[in-house]
Homo-oligomer: A and B are copies of this chain.
Amino acid sequence: MISLQYNNLDNTASFHKLKNLDKRIDLKSFLTPERIRTYSIETGGKLSYNYAAMPVDEEIISLLQDLAEEQQLVEKYRALLSGEIMNTGENRKVLHHLLRGQLAGPVTYQGRDLRDFYISQQKRIFDFADKVHSGEIKGSTGKLFDTVVQIGIGGSDLGPRALHIALAGYAYETFGKPRMNARFISNVDPDDANCILHDLDPERCLFIIVSKSGTTQETLTNRQLVIEKMNRRGIAGLDPRKHMIAVTSETSPMAGSSEYLDSFFIDDFIGGRYSATSAVGGVILTLSYGREVFQSLLNGAHQSDKNALESDIRKNASLMDALIGVYLRNILLYPVTAVLPYSQALSRFPAHLQQLDMESNGKSVNRFGKPLNYPTGPVVFGEPGTNGQHSFYQLLHQGTDLIPLQFIGFKEPQYSFNPEIEGSNCQQKLIANLSAQIVAFAMGKDDSDPNKKFPGNRPSSLIFGERLNPEALGALLAHFENKIMFQGFTWNINSFDQEGVQLGKTLTRQILGGKSLDPLLEKYSTLLGIRK
């Protein structure tokens, strides 16, 4: 294996070449049908990444290729796959790819082959789900479980929730009703749990308590709230402990506790926001949609993971996406990216990407803890199209700031009912809107009335596929995970820790501890009515 060098972006020659180019691509003259045809890269799940409407030309792309090589991006990915400690601050391997397949030699830890470990957990999930579905495992009062409720927050919530919503239509068309209904509780705000619980039948609910550390305040609080609420119902024989399973690490206080019907394990090498393809997402997706769906999701993710090994950026979708993103951020200096899925099924996917991207790359120090003097991860936001068109697109088209766009779309809908109305079916209308927006943003429109003028030159990329099925969804998820990883390597940061969440936790504990407080904490707590 070649030796890896870790340099800041502004210590690379290619970055300075890009900067000195000082080139502004005019999309209005560059965007051509030929470019749309050729600036496209296939990745997993039959998805393609199209970057025709991004402000890059052959010269810039060559320099981005140089940057990829200079920063050894694919080599670092190979090192990560092979089990090197890439989460340096926490001294941990980074192994979410290994959940989906083996792309390097065996990775072992304390004498255990970790691919075997992850597969054994998948198998345990599948077996458990079979028993729940068949009624071998029932609720404590003898009723079949028909609803699964995930209690988790952050990575234990956003990814699994986004994926679950994304597959509802596919599952309905493929199997009819889901095997089990699924709900999610995350916020420590008691309104969250109360709202979900009040129309559920506790005798038929199975709760998945998800916390890698086994100590997450919100999750343990909500678990206890659920137990108290169940006990209050006074249902003879109802034992909350027989309605709860744990997803946690083997070393956590939750693991193997008699408080749980069963436990499924991840380890320290699966970061929260990268855990959707582990037991964290796998238990609920398998219980709700079946093992085949979860397995297809893993397969799709694995395909994108394989694509990310290509050393030629023109063939590597996530690498190209990553480096164009760096170009937008560090050369063109755009601070925000909008993610715009033309698929209602992806309604919560932007919220998951917000965590994936902003928690991974919202850092100001490099992997050695030294301050950086260039921008890192952007703000990410988005809502599905066409909804967004009737909302914030006004600013995207005519606002004073330029926001690069990341579109997502599919040729076919998930549901089969797609009637023709006024000369075109609903899906055609959706896709026509998507095509129109890409062109409108890039090309703009002149008008003698400045209020009706569109400046254009608003760059966008497009990830598109045939239909949003589990494989395509897995590939889409992995595409973004890998994009973000490559950007982290390019910026020379650790994309796998999250020290920025600690201070708030510490201060919260101080307030709840009830001891004498810092006067500012005291004053805000009084203002908000929790201290006298």
Contact = CB atoms under 8 A, between A and B. Distances in A.
Given A435-B524, A523-B33, A501 B394 contact: yes
A384 B194 contact: no
A503 B379 contact: no
A17 interface: no
A413 interface: yes
Contact of A386 (B189, B359, B422, B462): B189
Contacts of A512: 423-424, 428-429, 432
Interface string A166-206: 00110010000000000000111111111100100000000
A358 B390 contact: no
Contacts of A422: 220-221, 224
Interface stretch (A67-75, A151-159, A295-303): A151-159
A370 interface: yes
A419 interface: yes
A400 B375 contact: yes
A387 B435 contact: no
The winner among A89, A220, A380, A426 for most chain B CB atoms within 10 A is A426
Given A413-B190, A443-B520, A512-B428, A154 B390 contact: yes
A363 B399 contact: yes
Given A194-B169, A344-B195, A392-B362, A436 B511 contact: yes
A418 interface: yes
B528 A221 contact: no
A395 B530 contact: no
Nearest to A449: B369
Contact of A376 (B364, B400, B419, B430): B400
B169 A435 contact: no
Nearest to A513: B423
A411 interface: yes
A198 B172 contact: yes
B387 A187 contact: yes
B358 A399 contact: yes
Contact of A521 (B381, B423, B436, B497): B436
A337 to B, nearest CB: 10
A424 B225 CA distance: 12
Given A396-B362, A503-B454, A504-B389, A426 B464 contact: no
Given A499-B452, A528-B435, A189 B426 contact: yes
Residue of A385, A396, A437, A507 with highest tally of chain B CB at under 10 A: A507
A373 to B, nearest CB: 9
B431 A525 contact: yes
A372 B378 CA distance: 26
Q: How many copies does the complex hold?
A: 2
A331 to B, nearest CB: 15
B358 A500 contact: no
Contacts of A343: 189, 191
A338 to B, nearest CB: 8
A335 interface: yes
Contact of A364 (B398, B427, B507, B529): B398
Contacts of A413: 189-191, 194
B355 A376 contact: no
Given A195-B344, A377-B399, A365 B524 contact: no
B344 A187 contact: yes
A37 interface: yes
B394 A528 contact: no
Interface string A222-264: 0011001100000000000000000000000000000000000
Contact of A501 (B37, B381, B390, B507): B390
Contact of A500 (B188, B221, B335, B398): B398
Contacts of A452: 499, 502
A451 interface: yes
A333 to B, nearest CB: 10
Interface centre among A336, A430, A514, by most chain B C-beta atoms within 10 angstroms, is A430
A105 interface: no
A363 B198 contact: no
A401 interface: yes
A117 interface: no
A1 interface: no
B50 A154 contact: no
A397 interface: yes
B528 A450 contact: no
28 contacts: A37-B523, A153-B387, A187-B387, A190-B417, A190-B419, A194-B417, A198-B415, A221-B429, A224-B419, A225-B417, A354-B381, A355-B391, A359-B394, A362-B392, A363-B399, A369-B449, A375-B401, A381-B381, A393-B504, A398-B500, A427-B530, A428-B512, A431-B528, A432-B525, A436-B504, A437-B507, A440-B504, A442-B520
Q: Which 5 interchain pairs have the tightest Cβ spacing?
A: A362-B395, A154-B390, A436-B507, A411-B529, A362-B399
